[in-house]
Chain A
Amino acid sequence: MFSRAYKAAVTLPPLVWVTVFLLMPYLLMFCYSFWSVSASQTIEHSWNLANYGQLLRVEVYWQTLLRSMWIAARVTIFSLLLGYPLAYFLSFYAGSKKDLLYQLVIIPLWVSYLVRAYAWKTILGSDGVLNTLLQYVHLTKHPLEFLLYSPFAVVLTLTHIYTPFAFLPIYAALEHIPRNLVEASHDLGATPGQTFWKVIFPLSIPGVVAGATFAFVLSLGDFLAPLLLGGPSGIMISNIVVSLFGAAYNWPLGAAISFCMLLLVVSLLFFSERLEKKWSFS
């Protein structure tokens, strides 16, 4: 029913825009990763693999990448542990309060990411709310220093930020489970535990995979929470990239790291899509 002209008119403008402002920048990042910086601080457009070689050779790069992945993995696990039972409760037990509670999970997303990270900083600092509270009730005599400027603070803050992101797809998956399947399981004599593990949980796996992917990928690339709350031991891979694009002035090396992150993210998305398809029932 739609003419060729109509299809061209809706396709071409976004296609051109996306090519110029998304595809070209990613390709340019790829090009940059082969270039180098001369002694006089100009970009030399000579093609070689030196940047990638450096990534493999210099320990601090891949160690920081591993630490970032470990931080992101912890954030993912905690977000799922908080988000899944919450989604399950809302979907199956909240009754008429469901919509209201759902909105209550969403609302924190409307408080600026930066502001929430900052709020944790005021809570965890050595003269912050938590430490002064602990001293006020005489649980501790001195401020607990490990609370702020540590990987712990980064994991806590990112978990706070990404729990709603993990919750949303899980909740959507649970809501799509046909309720007569659950009833049938009950009627056929399964205990609530059996019904959960044999019927509900397998059907919610696509949501879990989507939620986990969101939490992992977005926390892996974060650089603001580590800058604000991480201290030297909480530095993540993006912080290295930021410094390479700033004071250290080595854009090509920074581009090489960014491109590796891009590849990592895209392959994770690829695998999570495969997993979601494998476990989806419709």
Chain B
Amino acid sequence: MEFLVSETRLDSGSRWLLGHAVAVFAFLYLPIAVLILYSFNGEGVGGFPPHHLTLDWYRTLFADGPIWDSVLNSLQVALAAMVISLTFGVPAALALERAQFPGKALFRRLVLLPLILPGIITGLSLLMLFNVMGTKLSLVTIVLGHGTALISVATTEVFAGLQKLDRAQEEASLDLGANYWQTFWRITVPNLKLPIIGAALLIFTLSMDEIAVSFFLIGRENTLPLEIWGRLRRGITPEINAVSTIIFVFSLVAIVLWYRLRVRGERAAEGTK
């Protein structure tokens, strides 16, 4: 398609498209840039131009016990949610690809629904369930909420991976006398390594960031987004910018690592062909 690019590079249509793309990127990154910039602003979260650039807000942040407690809570919740979502999401993908059973269409829709459903509906319906069952709200209820809602992510990713998978290897393994359990762990899972790791990372970050479901299932201990939410309502300082900046940097590192892993995996896959 090179000819299309070179032929039309200078026409007004593509120049308009380029300008539009630049404007959209500016729009997408403006709040992030402001957020990071004002985490160094001595004068508070607003006010142009920024004054007295300082690291004070980071210092306040590192001395802030409740924030770090909530970070710890969020990390625990995200890890536990990841385990639940993968434990049920990977078999669900296998079931959808390989088994026929009554209610399969409904099952598929139900599993995927939380992906598109506004979090408030998932959160409230679970709140009613826990209320009827007499379960006290705590980090455990949040884990159940996140774990359940994010099964959809594990299932979608793994299902896509399964469709590219060559079944011959599994067949060979079974023919050569391995049982299903061995075949699952030694053939199926290693072949699905990339989609599973991808799903795990995605579930982890989505859970760290989740607020709409957690909002209704929270007990006494806060997750990080709910801790931030509580502070936003009390009045805002650049400390929130500072913690957001740190999380952003961590997420960026995670994406870059994941991206390199995937590129290496794809190269390896091409090498074996």
Contacts and interface: CB of A to CB of B under 8 A. Distances in A.
Contacts of B98: 2, 6-7, 10
Contacts of B18: 89, 93
A142 to B, nearest CB: 15
Interface in B155-190: 167, 170-171, 174, 180
B252 A265 contact: no
B157 to A, nearest CB: 14
Contacts of B91: 9-11, 13-14
Contact of B27 (A28, A82, A110, A122): A82
A176 interface: no
B251 A10 contact: no
A125 interface: yes
Given A110-B252, A112-B247, A224 B211 contact: yes
A10 B240 contact: no
Interface string A158-171: 00100110000000
A131 B200 CA distance: 42
Nearest to A101: B21
B228 A115 contact: yes
A14 B111 contact: yes
Contacts of A90: 21
A119 B47 contact: no
B125 A258 contact: yes
A93 B240 contact: no
Nearest to A20: B129
A85 B21 contact: yes
Contact of A160 (B27, B92, B114, B228): B27
Interface in A1-56: 1-3, 5-11, 13-15, 17-18, 21-26, 28-29, 32
A1 B117 contact: no
Given A14-B151, A110-B248, A245-B124, A192 B11 contact: yes
A122 B99 contact: no
B57 interface: no
Interface in A91-143: 92-93, 95, 101, 103-108, 110-116, 118-123, 125, 127-129, 131-133, 136
For this complex, into which size category does the number of interface residues on chain B fall? 35 or more
Contacts of B211: 113-114, 224
Contact of B128 (A11, A29, A118, A129): A29
B1 A122 contact: no
B32 A116 contact: yes
Contacts of B128: 25, 28-29, 32, 251, 255
A222 B252 CA distance: 26
A111 B244 contact: yes
B53 interface: no
A129 B118 contact: no
Contacts of B117: 217, 221, 262, 265
Contact of B118 (A1, A2, A238): A238
Contacts of B124: 29, 241, 245, 254-255, 258
Interface string A212-223: 011001101111
Interface in A225-257: 228, 238, 241-242, 245, 251, 254-255
Contact of A123 (B24, B30, B241): B30
Given A21-B129, A24-B129, A164-B28, A179 B1 contact: yes
Contacts of A266: 113
A13 to B, nearest CB: 6
15 contacts: A6-B180, A13-B88, A14-B95, A14-B151, A18-B88, A18-B110, A21-B144, A23-B110, A110-B252, A119-B32, A122-B236, A132-B47, A163-B24, A223-B120, A238-B120
Interface of A: 1-3, 5-11, 13-15, 17-18, 21-26, 28-29, 32, 82-83, 85-86, 88-90, 92-93, 95, 101, 103-108, 110-116, 118-123, 125, 127-129, 131-133, 136, 160, 163-164, 179, 182-183, 186, 192-193, 213-214, 217-218, 220-224, 228, 238, 241-242, 245, 251, 254-255, 258, 261-262, 265-266, 269
